[in-house]
Structure 1
């Protein structure tokens, strides 16, 4: 399945299942506000397999990411991967960089058919990464796991958070991503939810500079580059190409997408207790898989349908000529304005002739 062939009104490009919120780490940016112990109301193995059956109903090759917390805090994770693969799903995972991510467990996941492993590096050294992750030894565990994944033949993705605490390390992290032979660098621009509410976001002008730099990285690096919760990266890339006299259509990102995959539009998230969100960073439930079909919620719920209509956006995003290419982070709009259709405050671009209100970057008081 090619990403460009996905009709996002009918199926998500990616479906994330937060299999647990349990995790040994206490990362400063954690969306889930993860805890050491598993929640007693997590989806069971049987319910999880039913969810994977439902995801299969989206169509051939549906991409499913097992996330957390730390998905390896569950003892059935390898079984869930194997079950999904046997039923035609593309199964990937985002485990935490802890001592539990052993070479043996990575080999078991590879044998089960895991398609890709994504690991987080938020610093280029043990000092910066471990401080951000709240656990001494996390950097070494993550790098060891990355090398074990490479040895097991598992394609590796590196995830990095962009905020005031990490921005200075980005060039060195880029070099480390290349050294680890990763196939993709996913650069996540902080959304103020969970523990991330206490971190310092970067301002829109600095974000614009990071995205311009990422376009240059993508042109030269041996790995792909994509952004998470920063769809205006595509607008930046398009503007740069046009300025250089290049193509007039948006370039593909690191996973082959030409147009945005944003919360609810090409993206669905199932929480550890079965709630269906447009994104893990947009915690407004449109239903629960214990009561409704994931397919029906994604295709037919009012919330998801509204997020797939760029012309429903308000404020600066609604006036922007790039709204069909970008659309802004709906998660950040919700986190800062309490409205998923409001403007994304991280974007520095001002549409020509727009004289309306500018979005506020401060976190809103929303019910979680």
Structure 2
């Protein structure tokens, strides 16, 4: 059984190696630039950071950006981490930097998985979203390289009004490309991301229910980001299935099982990972945030250890206590396995403890009782 204590150690660490990137994505959290920042963590500082991460019960480590391939020491950093036993994956941008030789080098180093973004089943949709013509074709070509070199492929997709109507076709493409994981991001209005590009709360619910049904008939895993209420949807759907089969299942027991990963289908993160709760983000200049989508700085690894910031900063401690959540999230029976997107709550209200504004669920505690 999964026993990691999120009060002490995260499940996953995202390190933004650089903000340099050749793409101009409409939703870019980092508002990426064409050139690297002069104050980026150096190679030596990166090595020290990897050592610190390893000591935090060796969580998953993801190299992101910008485009991590814009750093010429990315493979040296990856090799060091892998040799320490750290599980490393990378999310490069689909640019001419992604050659077959570059991927071969990553395989030699020991990178466990590559992730590429695909935001539509056609070049027209994807290239518009990524702000660069030819991005779709480069992505498909890069994925073929990965298959040839037998490296597992993950696809990341941001759900927005631009692709909401073509998700069935998108799922077919993910299946066709033989990916091991489809990581589905739900837009948070930060950086270049705009609220006008988001789908509605009702559409969020519709997509989450569709994802659950999809998960039962495909051979790739499905993970959501900034849609913690997917856990609530999965638990509800499974409970309905048990009821329809006349199984005896206790409601509260189902929630407890959901928290330990035996019913909610979220095997990669068996507990309720959320911003600052099992999740930590380190920026290109060493600033530490609960996530890349929640822009409240908790410290910097140049002046404090990552463990100290994660364990002791006020924002992280508050985010790890769902009983502090406000509004309907604060009384929701699913708050310990869901909790809503803290990033979206902050983006919409300015308060990271407020309710998830794009969840339609009404908690039991807030429902009106029928008159006798």
> Which of residues 321, 330, 340 in structure 2 aligns to 1:309?
321
CA shift digits 1:105-154 (9 cap, x unpaired): 01111110101111100010111101110111101111111111122221
Following superposition, the deviation at residue 353 of structure 1 comes to 4.3
Residue in 1 that maps onto 2:44: 46
Q: Kindly indicate whether the alpha-carbon contact (under 8 Å) linking 1:15 and 1:63 is maintained by their aligned counterparts in 2.
A: yes
Residue in 2 that maps onto 1:272: 284
Normalised by the length of structure 2, the TM-score is 0.92
Judge which range, 61-70 or 280-289, deviates more. 61-70
Question: Which secondary structure state, in structure 1, belongs to the residue aligned with residue 167 of structure 2?
Answer: helix
1:18 aligns with 2:16: yes
Residue in 1 that maps onto 2:349: 337
Q: Counterparts in 2 of 1:156-195, with a 5 A limit?
A: 156-195=153-192
Following superposition, the deviation at residue 279 of structure 1 comes to 0.2
Residue in 1 that maps onto 2:312: 300
Task: Output the CA distance in 2 between the equivalents of 1:270 and 1:36.
Answer: 20
> Which of residues 50, 63, 67 in structure 2 aligns to 1:66?
63
Q: Kindly indicate whether the alpha-carbon contact (under 8 Å) linking 2:188 and 2:195 is maintained by their aligned counterparts in 1.
A: no
Task: Output the CA distance in 1 between the equivalents of 2:199 and 2:157.
Answer: 14
Q: Kindly indicate whether the alpha-carbon contact (under 8 Å) linking 2:332 and 2:365 is maintained by their aligned counterparts in 1.
A: no
Judge which range, 162-171 or 253-262, deviates more. 253-262
CA shift digits 1:298-321 (9 cap, x unpaired): 111111111010101011110111
Task: Output the CA distance in 1 between the equivalents of 2:348 and 2:339.
Answer: 16
Task: Output the CA distance in 2 between the equivalents of 1:145 and 1:254.
Answer: 28
Residue in 2 that maps onto 1:114: 111
Q: Kindly indicate whether the alpha-carbon contact (under 8 Å) linking 1:226 and 1:255 is maintained by their aligned counterparts in 2.
A: no
Question: Which secondary structure state, in structure 2, belongs to the residue aligned with residue 196 of structure 1?
Answer: coil
Following superposition, the deviation at residue 98 of structure 1 comes to 1.1
List runs of 5+ in structure 1 lacking aligned partners. 357-368
Question: Which secondary structure state, in structure 1, belongs to the residue aligned with residue 194 of structure 2?
Answer: helix
Q: Counterparts in 2 of 1:221-260, with a 5 A limit?
A: 221-245=218-242, 248=254, 249-250=257-258, 251-260=263-272
CA shift digits 1:264-312 (9 cap, x unpaired): 0010000001000000000101100000000111111111111010101
Q: Counterparts in 2 of 1:278-293, with a 5 A limit?
A: 278-293=290-305
Q: Kindly indicate whether the alpha-carbon contact (under 8 Å) linking 1:265 and 1:307 is maintained by their aligned counterparts in 2.
A: yes
Residue in 2 that maps onto 1:217: 214
Following superposition, the deviation at residue 355 of structure 1 comes to 7.8
Q: Kindly indicate whether the alpha-carbon contact (under 8 Å) linking 1:56 and 1:62 is maintained by their aligned counterparts in 2.
A: yes
Q: Kindly indicate whether the alpha-carbon contact (under 8 Å) linking 2:345 and 2:354 is maintained by their aligned counterparts in 1.
A: yes
1:7 aligns with 2:19: no
Following superposition, the deviation at residue 339 of structure 1 comes to 0.9
CA shift digits 1:315-356 (9 cap, x unpaired): 111011110110000000111111111111110101134289
Change over 3 Å in CA distance of 1:80–1:253 after alignment to 2: farther
Residue in 2 that maps onto 1:361: none
CA shift digits 1:143-202 (9 cap, x unpaired): 111111122221111100011112122111111111111111011000000000264211
> Which of residues 127, 131, 136 in structure 1 aligns to 2:133?
136
Q: Kindly indicate whether the alpha-carbon contact (under 8 Å) linking 2:119 and 2:158 is maintained by their aligned counterparts in 1.
A: yes
Change over 3 Å in CA distance of 1:344–1:96 after alignment to 2: same
Task: Output the CA distance in 1 between the equivalents of 2:142 and 2:335.
Answer: 39
> Which of residues 134, 149, 152 in structure 1 aligns to 2:149?
152
- The structure number with the bigger radius of gyration is 2
> Which of residues 204, 207, 214 in structure 2 aligns to 1:207?
204
List runs of 5+ in structure 2 lacking aligned partners. 244-248
Residue in 2 that maps onto 1:365: none
Change over 3 Å in CA distance of 1:153–1:5 after alignment to 2: farther
Residue in 2 that maps onto 1:82: 79
Task: Output the CA distance in 1 between the equivalents of 2:154 and 2:109.
Answer: 18
Normalised by the length of structure 1, the TM-score is 0.93
Residue in 2 that maps onto 1:362: none
Change over 3 Å in CA distance of 1:169–1:254 after alignment to 2: farther
